[in-house]
Amino acid sequence: MDIESLSHENGGPFTRGWGWLKAMPEKLWAKAVDVAKKMKKLGEDDPRRIIHSLKVGLAINLVSLVIYIKPLSHDFRFENNAIWAVMTVTLVLEFSVGATLGKGLNRMLATLSGGALGVGVHCLATLLGTIGQPIVIGVFALMIAAAVTFVRFVPAMKARYDYGLLIFILTFCMISISSYGKQELHVMIKMAIQRLVTIILGSFVAIVICICICPVWIGENLHNLAATNMEKLGNFLEGFGGEYFNIPEEGLSNMDDKSFLQGYKSVLTSKDTEETMANLARWELWNSRFGFRHPWKQYLKIGALSRECAYKVDVLNSYLNSKIQTPSEFQSKIQEPCAKICSESGKALKEIAAELKKMTRTTSVNPHIVNSKMIVENLKSLLNTTWLWENANLQETVPTAAVVLIVMDIVPYIEKISEAIQELAFLARFKRVDARVYPI
């Protein structure tokens, strides 16, 4: 450290403070510009986010009209209940229709059942006098809260009814505990019903706004995600052969950016997203595109197969670091069928993805899969011939052979994916299209 900077650093708290202050507006401005840019990008990436934000504001205003239009001015109690509608609309209105419906239905049912149980416990407790009452309520609150909290750990319940169970505990405790000291059952019941009505109103407004204004169907997102994931894997495979063996492929000459080689990475970690989406999609009973009882579970099966495929693709990707510049004799013999398998597999996946997107169903087996299976068989017998290995440069042969094996190993997975998609098409009754022309 030189002396100048040392003296500068020790320039007294005032000098340092002044320097910091002087730099402050600039830093703040830079930070603000940065945040604004990020926000803009967030909106541009998915404009539905902006629409959703406005929908929330609109829904709150809509439901608050209940308070404005019916200003039973100083009737404190009514207003206090009407505010539950505002609260409900804020809590229930989610980005996707599935999440909104799930939360809305959960909230309504939980309020109804929790409130009813609370009134029941209140009736029981009033029979036992002023001292017995809080004890009975306390014991019930302890038991019910503990039991329901434990039920929330059950995976099947957590997936669909977590919010409802929480609201059940909440409503039950609120009704039973706040009833302490009040004897008038009819006042309590009136209050409970008023609250239920406002919660139904809030949920209803949230659901209507969510469905009627640019709805985001999570089921559609899941459907598209499944297709996009397959497309990404297809893009990788289609490009991999040419990339690894350094073959300039037709039509791909202008693909200078290698982003298609990285796209598959998101497939590796898609499990939790897919499960959440499938759980929410089940609430979307009346989605016009998919109809009633769409087989959402099948998407999880497809997702699992896509991931299995992606793990293999990830290993293939690691071999790209040692890609071939000038092919040896072994490689030149093997590269054509191997690249062909890759491109056929990739095309198969992309075609399956396109069919899935269009929601059509073909009875014929995908010709690209047939092709790639055929080439795999030929390649297997080629690998078993001795002359192939003569004069092979072994240092280069082994990695290439490993790549070939993995590529051959991917084909059965693609067949499985295709079968899973056909099963989905059958279960979901996708419309049939005529057998296509075979481009063999």
Which of positions 179-218 make contact with a second copy (CB under 8 A)? 180-181
Residues in Cβ contact with 198 at an 8 Å cutoff, skipping those fewer than 6 apart = 66, 81, 82, 84, 85, 88
Nearer to a second copy, 141 or 425 (CB): 141
Nearer to a second copy, 21 or 127 (CB): 127
Site for a second copy in 34-53 (CB under 8 A): 38-39, 42-43, 49-50, 52-53
Site track 95-114 with a second copy (rule: CB under 8 A), x = hit: --------------------
State the nearest-atom distance from the C-beta of 261 to a second copy, in Å: 16
Site for a second copy in 233-272 (CB under 8 A): 268-269, 271-272
**Residue 324 one-letter amino acid:** I
- Which range in 80-88, 200-208, 226-234, 241-249 contacts a second copy by CB under 8 A? 80-88
CA-nearest of 396, 414, 376 to 237 is 414
Q: Which helix (H) or strand (E) holds 361?
A: strand 360-361
Residues in Cβ contact with 138 at an 8 Å cutoff, skipping those fewer than 6 apart = none
At 335, list the tokens. 């590269």
In the list 23, 28, 32, 61, the residue contacting a second copy (rule: CB under 8 A) is: 61
Nearer to a second copy, 118 or 239 (CB): 118
State the nearest-atom distance from the C-beta of 279 to a second copy, in Å: 14
**Residue 212 one-letter amino acid:** C
What letter would DSSP give residue 216?
-
Nearer to a second copy, 98 or 202 (CB): 202
Nearer to a second copy, 369 or 408 (CB): 408
Nearer to a second copy, 211 or 255 (CB): 211
Residues in Cβ contact with 273 at an 8 Å cutoff, skipping those fewer than 6 apart = 225
Q: SS3 of 318, please?
A: helix
State the nearest-atom distance from the C-beta of 379 to a second copy, in Å: 11
Question: Within 13 Å of residue 318, how many CA atoms lie on the same side as its CB?
Answer: 8
At 103, list the tokens. 């939360």
CB 420 within 8 A of CB 301: yes
- Which range in 16-24, 201-209, 217-225, 304-312 contacts a second copy by CB under 8 A? 304-312
CB 426 within 8 A of CB 361: yes
Q: Would you call 44 exposed, middle or buried from its count of C-beta atoms within 10 A (0-12, 13-18, 19+)?
A: exposed
In the list 311, 320, 427, 433, the residue contacting a second copy (rule: CB under 8 A) is: 311
CB 299 within 8 A of CB 226: yes
Residue 60 binding a second copy, by CB under 8 A: yes
State the nearest-atom distance from the C-beta of 69 to a second copy, in Å: 9
Nearer to a second copy, 68 or 438 (CB): 68
Residue 27 binding a second copy, by CB under 8 A: no
At 155, list the tokens. 């995976």
Nearer to a second copy, 24 or 405 (CB): 405
CB 320 within 8 A of CB 260: no
Q: SS3 of 329, please?
A: helix
In the list 12, 26, 68, 259, the residue contacting a second copy (rule: CB under 8 A) is: 68
State the nearest-atom distance from the C-beta of 269 to a second copy, in Å: 4
Nearer to a second copy, 81 or 287 (CB): 81
Site for a second copy in 312-331 (CB under 8 A): 312, 314-315, 318
Site for a second copy in 145-184 (CB under 8 A): 145-147, 149-150, 153-154, 166, 169-170, 173-174, 177-178, 180-181
Q: How far apart are CA 191 and CA 185, in angstroms?
A: 10
Measured in whole angstroms, the distance separating CA 152 from the mean position of its chain's CA atoms is: 21
Nearer to a second copy, 170 or 428 (CB): 170
Number of residues that bind a second copy (CB under 8 A): 81
Site for a second copy in 356-385 (CB under 8 A): 383-384
Site track 388-407 with a second copy (rule: CB under 8 A), x = hit: xx--x-xx--xx-xx-xxx-
CB 196 within 8 A of CB 115: yes
State the nearest-atom distance from the C-beta of 430 to a second copy, in Å: 29
Max Cα-Cα span within the chain? 99
CB 375 within 8 A of CB 410: no
